[in-house]
Structure 1
């Protein structure tokens, strides 16, 4: 099972992984990815907007697809929304399985599909006061396409 969650506040990656692994002795690998707001040349903040029901439903569908492809994998996805500052975490993907290959593959799949299929809209706010919406990247689409 892979759980999905949306929240505005921060998360604790270590606590999330500990909760996922608690009491499990059948797992041989745990993989964790934390996406951060990158301070690109004067970026002051990044605002993530979403439509709550649709976004969570799509995150759950992505999690279900990963669970179908890698049946032995446990995991969780946490994605934040709202105004975030450089250095703050945006997304957390944690996977665990008996073997490392499945844990790594499931984590990569989850991130690739979150980047391209979860309906989030990102607005950059710059130190000079300007803002702009972030457009989709061909490189993200190509990464997601490899899982088709």
Structure 2
């Protein structure tokens, strides 16, 4: 087992791209308790609401955003018994196919790892203070929250299923 004080930070909000393999290797380094690793990488789509997307600009509230994500992670660790969590969310100007977000979690077993990853991503999509603006042929537009994101978040309002 490793001392968590020597691990990478759990949350990064950054303009730079990330290396999925390197992040997973760092997350699981030296932790023999890990039996499952689950990752999610979100990317910029080239179309939204039927329109071609040329770029997406992401903004956040520095300090508040990181604190919000740390709270989400704390809840996921408690709820699903996660051993490690890494969340990277990019900000700034991104092009189609660019990576936007990484959620990586480790746990003893796959079920809790899958659920923990989904839980964190559902909360990020609905509650973390990020704002997205797409550039289309018709001009720039802010991206509104989707009903499907709110529905995904609502499923976590009940206690988790037994492992």
**1:77·1:91 contact (CA, 8 Å) conserved in 2?**
yes
Q: Secondary structure at the match of 2:63?
A: helix
**Unmatched tracts of structure 1, length 5 or more:** none
1:73/1:102 contact within 8 Å kept: no
What root-mean-square deviation, in Å, do the aligned CA atoms of Structure 1 and Structure 2 show?
1.4
CA–CA separation in structure 1 for the residues paired with 2:78 and 2:107: 14
SS of match in other structure, 1:52? coil
Q: In the alignment, is residue 5 of structure 1 matched against residue 12 of structure 2? A: yes
Deviation beyond 2 Å, 4+ runs, structure 1: none
What is the alpha-carbon distance in structure 2 between the residues aligned to residue 99 and residue 37 of structure 1? 30
Do the aligned residues in 2 keep the contact of 1:73 with 1:103 (CA within 8 Å)?
no
| Residues 121-132 of structure 1 mapped to structure 2, 5 A cutoff | 121-126=131-136, 128=137, 130-132=139-141
The alpha-carbon deviation at position 76 of structure 1 amounts to 0.8
User: Which of 21, 28, 32 is 1:25 aligned to?
Assistant: 32
- Once the two structures are TM-superposed, the CA of residue 125 in structure 1 deviates from its matched residue by 0.4
In the TM superposition, what whole-angstrom CA distance separates every residue of 1:32-69 from its partner, at most 9, and x where no partner exists? 11000000142110000111111111111111111111
Q: How many residues align?
A: 147
Which shows bigger deviation, 131-140 or 22-31?
22-31
SS of the equivalent of 1:142 reads helix
With normalisation by structure 2, the TM-score equals 0.86
How far residue 71 of structure 1 moved from its aligned partner, in angstroms, is: 2.5
Q: Which moved more, 1:112-121 or 1:65-74?
A: 65-74
Match of 2:153 in 1: 144
Tell me the CA shift for residue 132 of structure 1: 0.4
Mapping 1:1-148, distance limit 5 Å: 3-40=10-47, 41-126=51-136, 128=137, 130-148=139-157
